[in-house]
Amino acid sequence: MSIKFGTDGWRGIIGRDFTFENVARVAQAFADLVQENRVFPKRAGNIILGYDRRFQSPEFANTIASVLTANSLLVERSSSFCPTPTIAWLTKDKKGTAGVIITASHNPAIWNGVKFKESYGGAASPESTMAVETKIEENEKKGRSPSMLDLEEAGKKRLLTGFDPGNDYVTALQQFVALEKIQKSHWKIGFDPLYGAGTGFLSKVLKQDLAEIHQEENPSFGGLNPEPIEKNLKELIQTVRDKKLDVGLATDGDADRIGAVDETGRFVDSHHIFALILRHLVEVRGWKGGIVKTVSTTGMIEQLCRKYQLPLHETAIGFKHICKKFLEVEKPLMGGEESGGIAICQHLYERDGLLSGLLLLEIMAHHERRLGELIRELHQEVGPHFFERNDLHLSETEVEKVRTKLPTKKIETLAGQKVANTNQVDGCKYTLANGSWLLVRPSGTEPLLRLYAEADEPEKVKKLLQAAREILPI
């Protein structure tokens, strides 16, 4: 089968596409590229390897380790499940050649995947992942099978070592935020890792017990998609209300994305979290620098960048595009995306859901206000912003028809409003004269059509989403 990388890594359905054989093929291609010094240039550092809590993730990680060590690469493997940001941060901190983690992030339980991290900790560039795809095909044509080494033998040869993911990375988070101020605030905090790799990490950083739910091992994610959006956080919302908590935080399956719930049990999306953190870094910490966001991210960021006179850069969806832009910007400050990924560049050129949650707690502690109050203040400054995303499950033929035909259609009005600007950086984004916008975009990883909309009233958002369905060429 053909292996193609999406917006962040290669993902497939376990047992159908994501098999031990295919994982070994990916690992062999990666190993070849490292040895050839083409992309993922070989350095003195090791390959940092980790895995999440999905079905057979440890075993898939062992397959990666077996192939890499058979190709004489030095591998450090996590001793237990860990967040993707752990691997990214350790790759950067240890000056590793690259990072590899077994995860399908926020995808449903039937999926698993592989993500690669560049030596600086950021998501593998499009050039790197395309090179892996090409090398897989080359190996197939040559009849080159993956080399594999018994892990016990790899250990004896000192090609394979282990590390505890709860040590250096946790310390780095503690040192990055105002930990003592957060602790002295005595906030009552709820945490929902959605059965994922963030389980236990937030309480370890804060050195306190939390109202943590969904901690147990459950590869089916309790029937939920491990994505920290409102429809998946009903139990966290109820926990915040029942226990009268000050805030609820949530991370996705590999803990690189963030979602939150305010003191009333109202969901707070990543758009508002991005805006709150940006404002805090500039106004309280006094930091400056370039801001990077994807086309599906809130207009609040444009407003704040204008206010603070910060350069703003917009990219296609997928954090690999944000990471690439970080390398091009003279002094990047932070970047973020609609789906919950936020990166603070002084920490890492990669998203980190745990750090984002900790910074929210720092903001609350600094202002001595709970999250709902902070959101109201933000709206007073930039105006109300409401956002919604709809996912349409279509056939691959229908998705391809939208991909090819919609960009050629001239759309002059939507929901009774004039279209002021059309952007085709990634999908088709229509910005209206009143500042509202609609984005229609085929998914890069699944047979889905994603519809995104933002406006100053929830009803206007719904009208835009309905208008999107009316312009689809299917």
Residue-wise pLDDT for 138-168, tens only, equals: 999 999 999 999 999 999 999 999 999 999 9
Output the pLDDT for position 7: 79
Lowest mean pLDDT among 44-48, 112-116, 181-185, 240-244: 44-48
Question: In whole angstroms, how far apart are CA 45 and each of 4, 98, 246, 414?
Answer: 27, 8, 43, 53
The C-alpha atoms of residue 394 and residue 144 are separated, in whole angstroms, by: 37
Chain mean pLDDT for the chain: 95
Structure-token match 């449903």, residue found: 108
Total Cβ atoms within 10 A of residue 225 = 17
Nearest to 173 by CA among 353, 47, 45: 353
Asked if residue 98 lies in contact with residue 117, where contact means CB atoms within 8 angstroms, the answer is yes
> Taking the CA atoms of the chain, what radius of gyration do you get in angstroms?
22
**Tell me: the pLDDT tens digits for 250-270?**
999 999 999 999 999 999 999
Model confidence at 42: pLDDT above 80: no
Q: What is the pLDDT of residues 413-457, one digit of tens each?
A: 999 999 999 999 999 999 998 899 999 998 866 789 999 999 999
Q: Determine contact, residues 89/120, Cβ cutoff 8 Å.
A: no
Q: What is the pLDDT of residue 2?
A: 87
Question: Which residue has 């002295």 as its token pair?
Answer: 184
Mean pLDDT value of segment 224-251: 97
The predicted pLDDT at position 444 comes to 65
Average of per-residue pLDDT across 6-32: 95
- Residue 378's Cβ-side half-sphere holds a number of Cα atoms within 13 Å equal to 28
Are 173 and 355 in contact, with CB atoms under 8 Å apart?
yes
State the average pLDDT over residues 3-16. Answer: 92
Q: How far apart are CA 163 and CA 156, in angstroms?
A: 16
Task: Give the 3-state secondary structure of residue 102.
Answer: strand
Q: 266-302 burial string, b = 16+ CB within 10 Å, else e?
A: ebbbbbbbbbbbbbbbbeeeebebbbbbbbbbbbbbb
- CA-CA-CA-CA dihedral for 352, 197, 443, 319, to nearest 10: 20
As a whole number, mean pLDDT of residues 365-382 equals 97
Residue 38 pLDDT greater than 80, yes or no: no
Which pLDDT value is given to residue 135? Answer: 97
Cα–Cα nearest to 184, from 208, 159, 158 = 208
Instruction: Specify the pLDDT at position 345.
Output: 98
- Tell how far CA 390 is from the center of its chain: 18
176 C-beta neighbours (distance < 10 Å), count:
18
pLDDT for residue 41 is more than 80: no
- Using 50, 70 and 90 to split pLDDT, how confident is the model at 79? very high
The pLDDT, as a whole number, for residue 445 is 63
DSSP secondary-structure letter at 20?
A: H
Per-residue pLDDT reduced to its tens digit, 99-124 = 999 999 999 999 999 999 999 999 99
C-alpha to C-alpha distances, 355 to 3, 83, 274, 362, 422, nearest whole angstrom: 32, 11, 12, 10, 34
Q: Strands 332-336, 448-455: parallel, antiparallel or unpaired by DSSP?
A: unpaired
Beta strands 386-393; 448-455: pairing state: antiparallel
Residue 222: per-residue pLDDT: 94
pLDDT at 206 over 80: yes
DSSP codes joined into one string, 125-189? PHHHHHHHHHHHHHHHHHT-PPP---HHHHHHTTSEEEE-TTSHHHHHHHHHTTHHHHHHHT--E
Which single residue is written with the structure tokens 């390897």?
49
Residue 308 DSSP SS3: helix
C-alpha–C-alpha distance, residues 274 and 27, integer Å? 35
3-class secondary structure, 265: coil
Q: Is 169 left (phi over 0), alpha (psi -120 to 50) or beta?
A: alpha
